[in-house]
Amino acid sequence: MFAKIIINITSYIKDKRFLAVMSSVFLSYRFTGENKSRLERVLGSIRGALESAGNDVFCTFWMEEFFKKQGFSADDIYNYALQEMKNNDLFLLFIKSSHPSKGMMLESQRAVDLGMRYVITIRNSIPIPEYARDLKKEVIRYESFKALEQKLKGYDWKRSAGAKA
């Protein structure tokens, strides 16, 4: 009987933790040509801010070892990411430069196809990419990564799409 109570309590806690999640976020970013250690710090900061706000985060950046062990090509990674997007309800496009990214464009289109809530984080000095200009989206502009982190922590993740921050 004691074991059954423990199991029920554990199930209850897991259910409550699941209910507390605001969104399941797919974090899209530019990988090619980026400094890996700098990217790790920035993406880690973004992930931390999103998680501290009650969101679950999926990002392929932390799956590199898995991809290597599987012998994945760049196209295999894109396909994996596009399939994984079905498990998320919010698409977060992280833009820090005006350099185009094949992966971000593919993921952006998939997010639209899936009807995901679409949020762009973008530096103040950069125009919104052409592939995202006419979409129903929320835009979070930032000047520095520290400012972005603070905006993400304080963002209203329950807000409806189309708002600006």
* CB neighbourhood size of 69 (10 A): 8
Phi, psi at residue 67, to the nearest 5°? -65, -40
> What span, in angstroms and rounded, lies between the C-alpha atoms of 45 and 148?
9
Query: Could you report the per-residue pLDDT of 6-56, keeping only the tens digit for each?
Result: 444 444 444 444 445 578 999 999 998 899 999 999 999 999 999 999 899
**Three-state secondary-structure class, residue 45:** helix
At residue 63 the predicted structure's pLDDT band, cuts being 50, 70 and 90, is very high
pLDDT at res. 136: 86
The C-alpha angle with vertex 134 and arms to 128 and 140, in degrees rounded to 5, equals 45
Q: Give the CA count within 13 Å in the CB-facing half-sphere of 140.
A: 26
Residues 6 or more apart in contact with residue 127 via CB below 8 angstroms = 98
- % of the chain residues with pLDDT over 90: 69
- What counts of helices (H) and strands (E) characterise the chain? 6, 5
- Which architecture characterizes domain 24-154 according to CATH? 3-Layer(aba) Sandwich (3.40)
Domain boundaries, the chain: 24-154
Size (the chain), residues: 165
CA-based nearest residue to 120, from 144, 154, 82, 152: 152
Q: Please tell me the pTM assigned to this model.
A: 0.81
> What span, in angstroms and rounded, lies between the C-alpha atoms of 145 and 41?
10
Bridge partners, 25 (sequence order): 57, 90
pLDDT at 85 over 60: yes
